[in-house]
A and B are shown apart, each in its own frame.
Chain A
Amino acid sequence: MPKSSRRKHPIVNFYWRKLTFFAFFFAVLGLGYAGAQTFSADTNKYMPPTDAADLTISLKITADGSVIADGQKLKNRVDTTGQSDELILPILDNTGVGYSSVHTLMTLPADVVKTSTYDIKGIHGVDTLSVTAVSDNVIDYYASGVGPDATLSVIINMPQGTIEPPLLYRLYAIASKIKVSAWYIAAFALPIMTLIFMIGFIMLETRQQHVDIPKKETDSPPMALPPAIAGVLYHQDVGPREIAATLIDLAQRGDIYILDKERDFAFLKNKLDQRLLSYEKILLSKIFKTNVLSNKGEIEQRINNHLYSQKISLVASGIYVLATRLGYFKVNPQHIHRKYTIIGMGAFFVGLVSFLLSMTIFTNPPYILFFWAGMMISGLIITVTARDIPNRTAIGQQVLSNWLAFRKYLSNPEKIPFSYESQELFQKFLPYAIALDCEVAWAKRFSEQDFVLPKWYVSDALSPGLQDFCLSLFPIVSYVARSLASLKEPGFD
């Protein structure tokens, strides 16, 4: 069993800070919701006097549908979404006080008593109930023997149009009357249309920014570029591969060593190289801080201690800025990502806020929730697909075409014949192979050669072969690169 197969680097770390953030966020959310529920339950609820055995409540319905009880405006309103303008008002509910008699005198906004239907309902301890019309616009709801646990409700159904609600309530009424199937269609159509639009847009841009796929391969990099720049030209994104390629490139140039132990690994800083690019310096400072040696535990600590890393964002910025300055992109890809992130986030949060509002405002069943969920999914689609929008200039397309010719060489399945020079060829182009997604194919080209361990890779295994080397190195670099890439700050990736 090769040593490398025993190596297990976690794919997902346990981020204590992220966990703390979540715990705090949802604790605040939960408390806020509980508080809002309590506030909503307690405010604008009619509180009857408790010092009288016989109670008379003056209830007034205004022209806009508001309800006023003994001068106090209640949260209940006349519902104008149905066939009639309806008010169902539990005027007394488990008050803890008993009453011999309760008269509720309801004044309507117009003389519509004769064309209205009205009722009184009482449960949990009410002796008798009756309703009588006092005049063309006043109704007397009467209950006797109302117990302390009783719920007494008054109901009126006025002809449709009696109430003229404010604009928002009219909109609510319109939304309530939309058919369920319409919400289903809208909810599914919105993300699907967004996806179709984004794919169409990407395809259109891709057609316009056509990159020639070279027929011939070239056996050397088309130009002297840092592997991360070649990677970002290829992916249009700074991800784990660009960081991994940079690490191997730094090792290749003698700036770092990679130490591979049985169950551990470490990075060793070799020297202070003045020729380092800014983003390389920042990457090294993230890994080493002020130390010369940084082992797995220390690197993990530096990664896990942060929700996001400004340094890694700057590494990404540096790579994007370089590639843009070299003329490969029309606009800095980071700006494109940010623009679409803002649009996607906007759609997501608008959907979320509307979803929450609809939950509060709409009574059962709130089919409009489908629509807002669809909007949230559309926001996610925008943020995910925007990374694939082509953004390369004509120069960028041409240069990428050249790099694809080199990639063709790297991933050619033919074995490379043994020669003294070819022994170092593997490690020389390895950073580019990683940046261009073909490191495994590149390694396979050397499978029939005697493997010479790179100077920058120190292992405690006895003379590992190429396979052992790859199976040990790739997980280390991939793990570190993926962990670091995940620390890019939102909006700066």
Chain B
Amino acid sequence: MDGTTGAVASQEINVDMNSRPWLLKFVYGGGVLFDLTKWFILSLAILVIINSLFFSIFIVNGVSMSPTFKDGDWIFWSKSTYNNALPQRGDIITLSYPGDPVNKTYVKRIIGLPGETLEIKDEHVFINGTRLTEDYLNYDVDTDPEGVWKLSTDQYFVMGDNRPNSNDSRFFGPVEKRFIRGKAISRLLPMFQLVKDM
């Protein structure tokens, strides 16, 4: 073994970092970043994808959905539920405000469906002339102002459960499906509860 060892012992190895060409320095710098962060970045990217396309958390700001959701409640909601299904009456949804869809997201309840005629009269909601039973409202809550809305084939009428304190379709009109972003599944905080059990 010594013979071979001796034959190759004279090899020289460049030990000076400064003598490395710029490309190798670049590889080193990029490699350090890549090596230290690749799994973290990939995990983060997967979380971002899940958050952007499938599930997310919405923090309620305001009292428009009280008593179902209160100010500061954390809602877990699905962004993909309506990819292959249509929203149903009573669903609690998150929607982009049609006047500022990029910056304003609301949580409301679907009251009227496409093609229906919705009327607010005598402090109640009527769908195609039939009074709608709304168990989720407090018994003393009245619905105002009066009006009639005829929904087109792609429009939904949404309202908050706290009718006197909600900015909703009564004021900004029915919303198209493209503004509906997802369906609330459960409250996470302050106490976990599935929406269907509320």
A residues contacting B by CB (< 8 A) are: 18, 21-22, 25, 88, 90, 93, 119, 121-124, 151-153, 155, 180, 221, 223-226, 275-279, 282, 307-308, 310, 314, 317-318, 321-322, 325-326, 338, 341-342, 345, 348-349, 352, 355, 359, 363-367, 369-370, 372-373, 376-377, 380, 383, 489-492
Residues A224 and B27 in contact, CB atoms below 8 Å apart: no
Residues B34 and A345 in contact, CB atoms below 8 Å apart: yes
Given contacts A121-B172, A275-B2, A369-B52, contact A322 B8 (CB under 8 A): yes
Q: Which residues of chain A come closer than 8 Å to B17, judged between CB atoms?
A: 310
Q: How far is the CA of A273 from the CA of B42 in the complex (A)?
A: 47
> Would you give the 0/1 interface string for B153-178, flagging 1 where the beta carbon is closer than 8 Å to chain A?
00000000000000100011100000
Given contacts A123-B171, A277-B9, A355-B45, contact A349 B102 (CB under 8 A): no
**Shortest CB–CB separation between residue A406 and chain B, in angstroms?**
13
Residues B53 and A325 in contact, CB atoms below 8 Å apart: no
Residues 168 to 198 of chain B near chain A (Cβ within 8 Å)? 171-173, 181
Residue from A223, A310, A376, A492 within 8 A of B4 (CB atoms): A223
| Chain B residue at smallest Cβ distance from A369 | B49
Residue from B5, B41, B100 within 8 A of A224 (CB atoms): B5
Residues B4 and A151 in contact, CB atoms below 8 Å apart: no
User: Cβ of B129 < 8 Å from any Cβ of A?
Assistant: no
User: Cβ of B86 < 8 Å from any Cβ of A?
Assistant: no
| Chain A residue at smallest Cβ distance from B34 | A345
Q: Which residues of chain A come closer than 8 Å to B5, judged between CB atoms?
A: 224, 226, 275, 277
Q: Which residues of chain B come closer than 8 Å to A376, judged between CB atoms?
A: 41-42, 45
Q: Which residues of chain B come closer than 8 Å to A25, judged between CB atoms?
A: 33, 36-37
User: How many A-B contacts are there with CB distance less than 8 Å?
Assistant: 150
**Shortest CB–CB separation between residue A276 and chain B, in angstroms?**
7
Residues B2 and A491 in contact, CB atoms below 8 Å apart: no
User: Cβ of B31 < 8 Å from any Cβ of A?
Assistant: yes
**Shortest CB–CB separation between residue B14 and chain A, in angstroms?**
8
Q: Which residues of chain B come closer than 8 Å to A314, judged between CB atoms?
A: 13, 15
Residues A365 and B27 in contact, CB atoms below 8 Å apart: no
Residues A307 and B32 in contact, CB atoms below 8 Å apart: yes
User: Cβ of B35 < 8 Å from any Cβ of A?
Assistant: yes
Residues A366 and B52 in contact, CB atoms below 8 Å apart: yes
Given contacts A88-B99, A90-B99, A123-B167, contact A279 B13 (CB under 8 A): yes
Residues A277 and B8 in contact, CB atoms below 8 Å apart: yes
Given contacts A225-B1, A326-B8, A365-B52, contact A492 B28 (CB under 8 A): yes
Q: Which residues of chain B come closer than 8 Å to A383, judged between CB atoms?
A: 34
User: Cβ of B114 < 8 Å from any Cβ of A?
Assistant: no
> Would you give the 0/1 interface string for B90-111, flagging 1 where the beta carbon is closer than 8 Å to chain A?
0000001111111110000000
A-B contact pairs, 22 of them (CB 8 A): A22-B36, A90-B103, A121-B172, A151-B99, A153-B99, A153-B100, A224-B2, A224-B4, A225-B4, A226-B5, A275-B5, A321-B11, A345-B31, A348-B34, A363-B102, A366-B52, A373-B42, A380-B42, A490-B30, A490-B32, A491-B31, A492-B28
User: Cβ of B12 < 8 Å from any Cβ of A?
Assistant: yes
Q: Which residues of chain A come closer than 8 Å to B45, judged between CB atoms?
A: 352, 355, 369, 372-373, 376
Residue from B8, B37, B53, B97 within 8 A of A365 (CB atoms): B53
Q: Which residues of chain A come closer than 8 Å to B6, judged between CB atoms?
A: 275
Q: Which residues of chain B come closer than 8 Å to A18, judged between CB atoms?
A: 36
Residues B1 and A224 in contact, CB atoms below 8 Å apart: yes
Q: Which residues of chain A come closer than 8 Å to B148, judged between CB atoms?
A: none
Q: How far is the CA of A178 from the CA of B98 in the complex (A)?
A: 24
Q: How far is the CA of A223 from the CA of B1 in the complex (A)?
A: 7
User: Cβ of B132 < 8 Å from any Cβ of A?
Assistant: no
Q: Which residues of chain A come closer than 8 Å to B57, judged between CB atoms?
A: none
User: Cβ of B141 < 8 Å from any Cβ of A?
Assistant: no
> Would you give the 0/1 interface string for B72-97, flagging 1 where the beta carbon is closer than 8 Å to chain A?
00000001000100000000000011
Given contacts A25-B37, A121-B173, A317-B13, contact A325 B8 (CB under 8 A): yes
Residues A341 and B11 in contact, CB atoms below 8 Å apart: no
Residues B99 and A155 in contact, CB atoms below 8 Å apart: yes
Q: Which residues of chain A come closer than 8 Å to B38, judged between CB atoms?
A: 348, 380
Residues A377 and B99 in contact, CB atoms below 8 Å apart: no
> Would you give the 0/1 interface string for B45-69, flagging 1 where the beta carbon is closer than 8 Å to chain A?
1101100110000000000000000
Residues B27 and A341 in contact, CB atoms below 8 Å apart: yes
**Shortest CB–CB separation between residue A51 and chain B, in angstroms?**
25
Residue from B11, B83, B181 within 8 A of A364 (CB atoms): B181
